[in-house]
Structures are given as C-alpha cells and as structure tokens.
Amino acid sequence: MGQYFTSLRLSINEVFNAIKDQQWVRPSKPIQYNLTLPRAEEYCSFHDRKRHKTIHCSSPQWYLEELVHQRFLKEYILAPGASFG
C-alpha cells in the first residue's frame, strides 16, 4: 500500500520557506554527500546545503506531513474538492 501525503495549498518548497523560521520547526539532520557527484550549484533549503534541489528532496515532504499531524499547518491544507495553486 502506497503512502499518501496531505494535499497542501502551496508547493512543499513554498510551505517550508514560509514556516522555516517558526520556533516549532526543528533543524534538519545533516546528510552525507558523495562529493564526486555533479550538481554542486543545486540548493536544498530544507537541509540548507548545496548538492540537490529542495523539490527533489523527500525529507521536507515527510517533515511537513509530520507537522500536519501535529496540527501546525492547518492554514496550508488544501480543502477537499479544492484545486492546488
């Protein structure tokens, strides 16, 4: 059975950037990189590091889902039947 995430009114990147300075947002865990990989110019705002784009990172999606279940992101949840964007 697949994992289903709560539908949000904004993109994952937009929601994370809107909430990242809130006191209830915890810093991400450091990640290890294979430094031989290209893409040093790509940046992940969730990890606050280069090497990949936030949009390609699954960590913020899992973290935002955790915050949804903790009821921190009520204003970002897409109402049933509403469309994204």
Q: What is the mean pLDDT of residues 8-30?
A: 86
Most confident of 1-5, 9-13, 58-62, 69-73: 69-73
The percent of residues in the chain predicted with pLDDT above 90, rounded, is 31
Nearest to 17 by CA among 60, 52, 58, 59: 60
* CA 72 centroid distance within chain: 14
Say yes or no to pLDDT of 69 above 90: yes
Does residue 40 come out as left (phi exceeding 0), alpha (psi in the -120 to 50 range) or beta?
alpha
pLDDT at 26: 85
Residue 54 and residue 33: Cα distance in Å, rounded?
A: 15
pLDDT at 54: 80
Where do the domains of the chain lie? 1-26+39-78
Q: CA end-to-end span of the chain, whole Å?
A: 28
pLDDT at 40: 66
